[in-house]
Structure 1
Amino acid sequence: MPGATFLAGDRVDLRTVEEDDLEFLRDHSNDPAIRRPMTFDTPTNLEQQRDRFDDMYADDDAGFLACVDGDPVGYVMLFHVDDSAGHAEIAYWTTPDAQGDGYTTEAVALLVDYAFDERRLHRLRARALESNAASRGLLEKLGFTEEGVQRDETFVSGEYVDTHFYGLLESEWDGVRPSRERSESGEERSESANGEAV
C-alpha cells in the first residue's frame, strides 16, 4: 500500500514507496508494455526490486508512486541529481490500464514542480525512444525542448531505435507550468500558462 502523500495534485498524488509496493513495481517493471519503452532489458525479481528500494533514498534521488484515489497507477523518478550543477534527469511510466487519462502528464508536472520549487534545480533532462510518440508528446506539452537524437542508440524488440534527448530550464517551466481552474460547468480542467488545454 502506498505511503504518505508527498505532493497532491488535482487527480494524482505522488506518494512514498513502501515495502508493500515492491510487488507492484516488480510486476510492472517486467510488463513488456512498460519495460520496452523504458528499455529495461533484464527481468527483475522481488529481491532485486528490494535492493533498488534500499538504494532509492540513499542518494539524492526521489521516486514516487503516482496514485489516483489512493491506488498506484504509475511511477515517477528524479535521478542523477547534481545539486552543485543544479540538474537532474526524470523518468516515468504508467500502467497500461491508466494510460491515456492524463495521469502521467499530471504526475510528471508535479515532479517538475518539486524539482524546481523544492529542490532548487535549474535544469531537467529526459529521454524518450523514437517509437514512443506518447512520451515525446508529453515532454513537449510540458515545455521540454528536444536537444538531440542519438541514432540507433537502443536495442528494443529486435531493432535499433533512436533516442531523443530533452531539456527543460526552470525559467521555461515558469512559462508553461500548468494551472488548475474550474470551468463554467464546475469541472476541473488543466491549462498551460499559454492557455492551451493539456
Structure 2
Amino acid sequence: MYAISLGDDGAELRPLEPWHAEEFLAHLDRGREFIGRFIAFGSKETDVASARAVLQRYADLRAADTASLHGLWLRGELVGGVLFLNFDADRGNCEVGCWLEPAGTGRGLVTRAMRVLIDFAVEERGIHRVEWIAAVDNQASLNVARRLGMTREGVRRESHPHHGVRLDLEVWSILAPEWRAVRARAAHSDH
C-alpha cells in the first residue's frame, strides 16, 4: 500500500480499495448532493454492497491497466479522490478526473494529487496526452485544469446528459513535453 503525503496539512493520496467500502459510502453520503451537481459518480452507490462493487470494478480496471481510483484523505478522513479513466498506455493517452465532498474543497487537494498522477502517467508509464473534461459551469474543476497548465481545446456542446438536461463539456489537455516544462518552471520557482 502507498500513502503519498500531499503537504503539511495531513492530506494524503492512497489507493481506494474494495475494503474501503464502508468509509467510501459514508464519504459519498456526506457529499452526494455536492458531488452530483456535475457528475453522476457515486450516485448509484447507496449501500455497502454497491459501494464495494464500484470499488471492485475499479480494482479490476486497474488490474487490466485501463483505469484506477485513488482516494484523498485529509487528517485521516476520506474527502474525495482522483482517477484515471480511459488509460491507454499503448496509445499514450489517458483521461483524469476527480470528485470531492465539501470538506475537501478550497485546499488545493485535487491539484496536488493530480500532479502526482500526471507525473506518474508521463514519467513512469509514457503517457503523451492527458485529458481533463468538465462541465462548463464547473468552475472549480476548470480552475484545476488551468492550474495544471492544461490547454482548453474546445467545448462538446450538450454532450453530457445529467439530471434531465444536457450539459456542455469543456475539453482540456496537456502533452508530455508541456507537462515537463510546467514542472520545470514550478521547480525553478521553488528555489
Paired residue for 1:165?
A: 171
Identify unmatched segments of 5+ residues in structure 1: 180-191
**Cα distance between partner residues in 1 of 2:41 and 2:178:** 31
- Calculate the aligned-residue CA RMSD, in Å: 2.5
**Cα distance between partner residues in 2 of 1:8 and 1:84:** 30
**Cα distance between partner residues in 2 of 1:158 and 1:98:** 27
1:91 to 84, 88, 97: 97
Paired residue for 1:18?
A: 17
**Cα distance between partner residues in 2 of 1:194 and 1:140:** 19
CA-CA distance at 1:144 after TM superposition: 1.2
Task: Looking at secondary structure, tell me which structure has more helix per residue.
Answer: 2
Kept in 1, the 8 Å contact 2:136–2:168? The answer is yes
Identify unmatched segments of 5+ residues in structure 2: none
Query: Do residues 149 (structure 1) and 150 (structure 2) align?
Result: no
**Cα distance between partner residues in 2 of 1:72 and 1:27:** 9
Cα distance change, pair 178–74 in 1 and its aligned pair in 2 (3 A): farther
Cα distance change, pair 73–101 in 1 and its aligned pair in 2 (3 A): same
CA-CA distance at 1:151 after TM superposition: 1.1
Kept in 1, the 8 Å contact 2:149–2:182? The answer is yes
Amino acid at match of 1:48: S
Normalised by the length of structure 2, the TM-score is 0.82
| Pairs aligned (count) | 181
Between the aligned residues of both structures, percent identity stands at 27
**Cα distance between partner residues in 1 of 2:51 and 2:165:** 27
Amino acid at match of 2:91: A
Amino acid at match of 1:127: I
Normalised by the length of structure 1, the TM-score is 0.79
Paired residue for 2:56?
A: 54
**Cα distance between partner residues in 2 of 1:97 and 1:6:** 20
2:134 to 125, 128, 134: 128
**Cα distance between partner residues in 1 of 2:162 and 2:152:** 21
